[in-house]
Amino acid sequence: MQKKILKNLSIGIASTIILGSITISLSNCSHSNKQKTFSSSTITNQDTKNLDIVAKNIKFKYDIFENEDEQTIKINKIKIVGDLGETKIIIKKVIIEQKSNIFLVQYQLSLHNQTKEYTQKLEINKKQSVIETKYINDQLNSKYQANNDYRPFALKELLTSPQNIKKTSNLSLITMQKNNQEFNNYFSFIQNEHNFKQSPFNQVTLLTKQNQLTDHSTNFKFEKIEIDKENQIATVSFSHDSDSQTIQKILNATNKLLLIKNFDWTNPFSKIISYEKFNNNQLRFSLKDFPKSLTKFIITHIQYDDVVESLGRDLKNLFLYNQIEEELKLKKLNFYLQENEVYGSAFFDFNEQTLELYKNKIFLFEFTLDENYSEARKNQSLIAKYTPPIQYVRVPFKSLWKFKIPHLYNGYLYKLNKISIRDNNSLAPFAFVKIKELNTSTFFAKNITYNDRKIIDLYYNNDQLFSTKYQTLKNKNLTLNDLYKLWASDQNNLYLDYSLRNFISLVQYENTYLFYKNKTNEGFYDFITKKANFMLVNNNEIKNLHKTTLKDSPDLIFKKDKDNYFQLTKKINKIKNLNLINEENLVFNITFGLDSNLIKETNLWKNLMLRSQISLAVPYKILKNKKVIEDAEFVLNYGIGNQEYEYELYKKIKQDFRFQISYINDELKIKIISKNNVSVFNNIWEHNSSIDSSYFLTKANFNIYYLNNTTVDIMEDNESNNQYTTRIYKNNEQNFLPIKNARDRVISLSLIQDGTWNVLGKVKPNDDNDYRYYLISCAHVLNSTQAFKSINKTGNKDLFESGNSSNGDFDPLVPQIIHENETLNDKKNPYYNALEKNGKLEANPNQFQFLNFPEKISIESIINFDHQVKNKLSPHVNALGFFNPNASLDFSLITINLKPFFQKYGQLENSTAFNNLTKEQQSVIRHIINFKNLKPLKLSNQTKYFDDNQNVKWYLSTFPRTETINEFNAGKLPRYREYEINKYDKIQENIVTTNNYLSTVGTTKISDQYFDVGSGSSGSVVYDENGDLVGMISFGAHENAKFTAGGMIVFDSLISGFFGDKNNFANRTSLIQQIKQLAYLYPEKYEDIYK
C-alpha cells in the first residue's frame, strides 16, 4: 500500500535569512531507491571544504498535517547553525525513497563561482503518523462506442516497434563523431568557436548631421538593376520621369558612392562602394567581395560629390545576387529515440567553402505522412482534413548532427520530402538540397509509451450511508472509468448515491460524452450507444443535473503571469444567481485544448480542429474552503486515434504539467504549471515552428453544472446587455472609458471626401524635430481621399506604391462629443454641412470641429497590402513564413508629416496663430498636437479567437458620410459617431470586400440598425477594452442606395500575419517587421517603434 507523508517543511537560520515561501507539489516529487549526493567536477578543493562545512550545519525539520486534502510541502524559511558567510543556498527539490517513503531534500550551495549539490534526509517525528492516500483511477477502458477505429496511417506492424529508429541512451557529440568519421570536417568545423565569431554589426553611413533631412525627397528614381552574365557587374537604369539634370550630376560627379545593404534586417550587412558612369545614362558597380551567404540587396543611399540622397523604400532599388555554384547533397540521415524524444542526424557533402557558406543558415526539413496520405486526401478523409500534411523542422547548421523532431503523431509513418536552406531568423529562401540519391531509410515512425504519474483523489469518500429508497450501486467512489463501464452495460436507469466523488465523475462523464458526440457530428465517430441515464440520489431524493455554459469572453483567454506560466482569471462574483444554488451542489467545469501534436494551419478559430480537450471539474464549496488545489485532477478527451493512443497522450500531459486552481477574493484562477522545460504557446506559428517539444494552448470554456429541482437562469453581467451596440455620448462616456483611446487616435484628412484614419504611432518617438506620424486605414481609402486627389493633379499616378510621396491638402475633421439630449431636436448631430465659398471651405459655428489648414502637407505611402501580394521580390508571407496567395488585404499604412502644423500651432496658447482661431478650430489643434503622446498601437490578443456569436467589448470611432438605415444617419453629411460594440453574430473568411480585396482574415457584419456606419467609416479601427487593435471597418451592404450593414475585417486571425508580432521574424512582410526593416535601412528617417 502506498503512503504519503503530509508536512510543512521549515528550515531555520541562526541569523534569520528569509528566502521566501517555496511551495512544492507532492505530486512533483521524484522517486529514488537510494540516497544520492550530487557534486560538480569543477569545484576547487578549498571551496569544496568550505561548502561541506556549511552543509553539515544545515538542519531540515518538518511537521505532518492530519489533513486528507493537503498536497504540498511548504518551505517557509531556512536556519543555519553557524555563519553562512558568502555561501548561497537554493532548495532544488524533494525526493522520496520509494520503498521506505523517506523524504530527502536536495539543495545547492554556491560559493564564489563554484557550486555543489547535496541531499539530506528529513527527520520524522515518531509520534506523528502517516496518512493513507487514494489516487485517481484514470486508466480509461471504454472511452467511447464507435463503428470504426480511426487510427490514420498507423500501420499495425509499427504499433509495437518503431521503423528505422535506433533506440539509444547516448547521443553525445563524441559518440556521434566516432560513428560518423567520414564527416569529420563538419564536426571539426562546428567545434571551433572561432568559425562562428561575429563582430557587432557596424551600420556604415554616407550621412552627416547636415544632410539627414527626413522630409527631403529625390527628383530621380531607379527603374531597373541588371546583373551581367559573368555575375560580376550590376548596371542601374534611371526611370523615364527622373530629372535629367540631376542624372547628369550623378553620372559626372567626382565623388561617386553607393550605400548597399542586405534587404533582410535580421541578418544585417552594409557596404559602401564606388560606382561609375556607363552608356551616358546608366551607372554601374562591381559585385566583387559581396558575401556569398546573402542574396537580396538594396541600394539605400547615393552620394554624388557633396550631395547625399536617401533613395527611399522603393523596391526597384532591390536586386538579387546569387553566388551559389552547386546544390548541396544529403549523404546520410538517421533517426534515434532517446528518452521518449525522436532525434534526427543529417550529414551533407560539405567542403571548406560550403561549410563557411552555410554556417549561419537554417536547414528546413520537410517531412510528410506516408503515401497513404495522398489516398486519404483523395477520399476526403476527415483525418487528412484535420491532420497537417507536412511537418517542418527548423535545424540550425550547428545542430545538424543531432536535432529534435517534435510534434510527431505517435504511431504514424513519416518520410522526408525535401530540405531547403533558409536565412537565419527571417527564414527567407536561400538554397535547396539534393536528397534523391538517399534510400528508404528516410522513412520512420515512432511508437512511444510514457510513465504514469498518480494524482491524489481529493474527493474520496469514506461515508457508507446509501439510499434506502432507490436501488443504487452502493458505491460513493465511482470514477469516470466506472461510469464508462456502466455505460457500456446498456442499463437503462442507473442510480448513484450522492457524494462529491460521484458528482465530479458524473460531470466528467457528461462533458466527455458531449465532446465525442460533437466529434460524431463532425464525422469522426459513429455512436452506436446512447448516453447512459445516470441519476444522483441524495437523502433518498433524485437530484436533477443541469448545465449552463457561459458565453465566450476575453477573460477565458489564458495570459502569461510574472512567472511565465499561462493562467486565466474568472471573476465569480460577476456570475448572476449562483447564490440560488446550494454550494455543495455546484461544480465548475473548465475545458480547454492542450495539444502536443502539430496543429492544422487555419485562419479562423471556428475552423480550427480542436482535437484535444482538458477538462477540469472543480466543486465550488471545496475550492472556496481550500483556496488552492495544487495538482487538480483532469480528464483528457482527444478527437482522433483510439483509446490506447489517447491514454499515452494523457500520461504525457501528466508528466509535463500540473494544473493549479485557486479561489481568492471571488476570483477563480487556473494556472498551467509546466515541468521538464516544456514550452506552451497560444500561437500556432510558435508551436508548429518550435524546435523543441511544445504544446498548443487554446482559450477556455466555462461550464457550470449544478443539482437543483429546477433550472436557474445563470449568466454573467455582460450577457445581460443584449444590444449589438451602445452609442456613447458625453453624458455616459464614464461608463465606456476605453473609448478615449479610439477617440484620441482617430482623424479624417479631408472634409469633402475621405474615409477614417487612425494614428499608429510617431515615426521617430525620440526625435523632437520630426513630426511624422504613421496612420492606418483601408487601402481603398488611400485611393479615394480628397487629400490624395489633390496630389493626383500633379500627375503622380504611382503615389500609392510604397515609397512614393507628395504634398496634399489638409482640412482635417476630429471628434466632437455631444450630450444625448442634443440629438432630440436633430438626430443628425454632430455633423458638418460642407459649404464652399470662393473656393474655400467654411465651417458653420458649433456644427463640427474642422480646420481648413492653409498649407499642404507631405504624405508618403509606406505599405499597401493590396499591392504587396503582387510583388515578386518581396511577396507577402503568413505568420509561419510561407507565401500567402490570398493576401490582397484592404489595409494601408502611410506617414503624414505635420511639421508645418506643429510649427504654426505647436505652442498652443503661447502661439498668436492659435489664439486667433475659433474655439472649434482650437479643438482640432489640441487633438492633433496630442498625437505626440500616443504609444505605438498594439494588436489585441483577442484576434486569434474569433468565433461565431460572441459577446465582446469593442470600441469604435468613425466618420460616416453616406445615408444609412440608422435612425441617427445624416444622409450625405459628414458626421462623427462613437460606439461600444457588445456582440456580433457570424464571422466569415475569404469574402471579397470593397474593390475586390480578397484575403485570409476573418470578417463580420453588423446591421446599420444598430450603428450609423457607411461610406466614410472605412478605415475606422475597432479596439478592445485595453485599447489594442482588433480590426477595421472595411466594407458594407447596400440596399436602395442606403447602407444596411457595416463590415469589419479582423487583423491577423490565427496565421494570416498582416499586423504581425515583434518576435516573429519569419513573418517578414508584416507591418511590424517592415517598420523594423525601415529603421535598419534608413535610420535617419525611421525608428524601430516595436522593440
pLDDT digit string (tens) for 501-518?
Answer: 999 999 999 999 888 888
Residues 1064 and 1057 sit within 8 Å (Cβ to Cβ): yes
Q: List, edge to edge, every strand of the sheet that includes 857-864.
A: 746-747, 757-762, 772-777, 892-897, 857-864, 805-808
| Position 437 confidence tier, pLDDT thresholds 50, 70, 90 | low
Residues 274 and 235 sit within 8 Å (Cβ to Cβ): no
From the list 995, 793, 804, 765, the residue with the least C-alpha distance to 894 is 804
Ranges of H-type helices in 181-243 = 184-190
**Predicted pLDDT of residue 336:** 93
Q: Where are the beta strands (DSSP E) in 889-971?
A: 892-897, 950-958
Q: Is beta strand 857-864 parallel, antiparallel or unpaired with respect to 805-808?
A: antiparallel
Half-sphere exposure of 1081 (CA within 13 A, CB side): 26
Q: Give the lowest-confidence range in 10-19, 462-471, 848-857, 858-867.
A: 10-19
**Predicted pLDDT of residue 415:** 84
Residue partners of 613: CB distance under 8 A and separation at least 6? 515, 591, 592, 593, 636, 637, 638, 639
| Position 353 confidence tier, pLDDT thresholds 50, 70, 90 | very high
User: Residue 306, SS3?
Assistant: coil
Report the distance separating Cα 995 and Cα 1004, nearest Å.
Answer: 17
Q: What is the DSSP letter of 598?
A: P
When mean pLDDT is compared over 77-86, 636-645, 676-685, the highest value belongs to: 676-685
Residue partners of 839: CB distance under 8 A and separation at least 6? none
Q: List, edge to edge, every strand of the sheet that includes 725-727.
A: 725-727, 977-984, 950-958, 1021-1023, 1029-1039, 1042-1050, 1002-1007, 987-989
| pLDDT of 119 over the 90 cut | no
Report the distance separating Cα 920 and Cα 851, nearest Å.
Answer: 8
Report the distance separating Cα 421 and Cα 117, nearest Å.
Answer: 43
Q: What is the DSSP letter of 971?
A: T
**Predicted pLDDT of residue 78:** 41
What is the tens place of the pLDDT at every residue in 484-497? 888 877 676 789 99
From the list 992, 1004, 379, 879, the residue with the least C-alpha distance to 602 is 879
Q: Is beta strand 1029-1039 parallel, antiparallel or unpaired with respect to 1042-1050?
A: antiparallel
The vertex-243 CA angle with 240 and 246, nearest 5°, equals: 130
Of 1000 and 468, the structure prediction assigns the larger pLDDT to: 468
**Predicted pLDDT of residue 154:** 38
Which amino acid is located at 722 in the chain?
A: N
For 515, the enclosing helix (H) or strand (E) is: helix 500-521
Please state, as a whole number, how many other Cβ atoms lie within 10 Å of the Cβ of residue 290: 18
Percent of the chain past pLDDT 70, that is, above it, reads: 79
From the list 749, 746, 781, the residue with the least C-alpha distance to 1035 is 781
What is the tens place of the pLDDT at every residue in 735-769? 999 999 999 999 998 877 789 999 999 999 999 99
| Position 232 confidence tier, pLDDT thresholds 50, 70, 90 | very high
Mean pLDDT of 857-876: 78
From the list 703, 704, 711, the residue with the least C-alpha distance to 544 is 711
| pLDDT of 971 over the 70 cut | yes
Reading the block at residue 355, the C-alpha cell is 561549410
| pLDDT of 38 over the 90 cut | no
Quote the pTM value.
0.84
Residues 847 and 832 sit within 8 Å (Cβ to Cβ): yes
Report the distance separating Cα 349 and Cα 437, nearest Å.
Answer: 13
Q: Is beta strand 7-10 parallel, antiparallel or unpaired with respect to 61-64?
A: antiparallel
Report the distance separating Cα 1057 and Cα 1053, nearest Å.
Answer: 8
Mean pLDDT of 714-720: 72
The vertex-509 CA angle with 507 and 515, nearest 5°, equals: 105
Specify the residue for cell string 493590396: 866
How far lies 553's CA from each of 334, 716, 1055, in Å?
Answer: 47, 10, 21
Q: Is beta strand 131-132 parallel, antiparallel or unpaired with respect to 114-121?
A: unpaired
From the list 852, 845, 690, 865, the residue with the least C-alpha distance to 786 is 852
Mean pLDDT of 71-85: 46
Percent of the chain past pLDDT 90, that is, above it, reads: 47
**Predicted pLDDT of residue 842:** 58
How far lies 397's CA from each of 333, 349, 632, in Å?
Answer: 15, 13, 42
User: Residue 1069, SS3?
Assistant: coil
What domains can be seen in the chain, in order of their start residue?
Answer: 49-123 (no CATH), 222-320 (2.60.40), 326-446 (2.60.40.10), 545-714 (no CATH), 725-1059 (no CATH)
| Position 102 confidence tier, pLDDT thresholds 50, 70, 90 | low
Residues 943 and 1031 sit within 8 Å (Cβ to Cβ): yes
**Predicted pLDDT of residue 210:** 57
Report the distance separating Cα 290 and Cα 108, nearest Å.
Answer: 51
User: Is the torsion defined by CA of 702, 706, 711, 712 positive or negative?
Assistant: negative
| pLDDT of 1060 over the 50 cut | yes
Q: Give the lowest-confidence range in 441-455, 692-706, 839-853.
A: 839-853
Averaged confidence pLDDT in the chain: 82
Of 280 and 378, the structure prediction assigns the larger pLDDT to: 280
Specify the residue for cell string 503615389: 799
Q: Give the lowest-confidence range in 321-335, 391-405, 860-874, 1058-1072.
A: 860-874
Reading the block at residue 122, the C-alpha cell is 528529513
Specify the residue for cell string 458620410: 961
| Position 1 confidence tier, pLDDT thresholds 50, 70, 90 | very low
| pLDDT of 19 over the 60 cut | no
User: Cis (ω within 30 of 0) for the bond into 875?
Assistant: no
Which long-range contacts does 379-384 make (Cβ < 8 Å, 24+ apart)? 381/152, 382/150, 382/522, 382/523, 382/524, 383/150, 383/152, 383/640, 384/152
Q: What are phi and psi of 786, to 5 degrees?
A: -65, -30
**Predicted pLDDT of residue 340:** 86
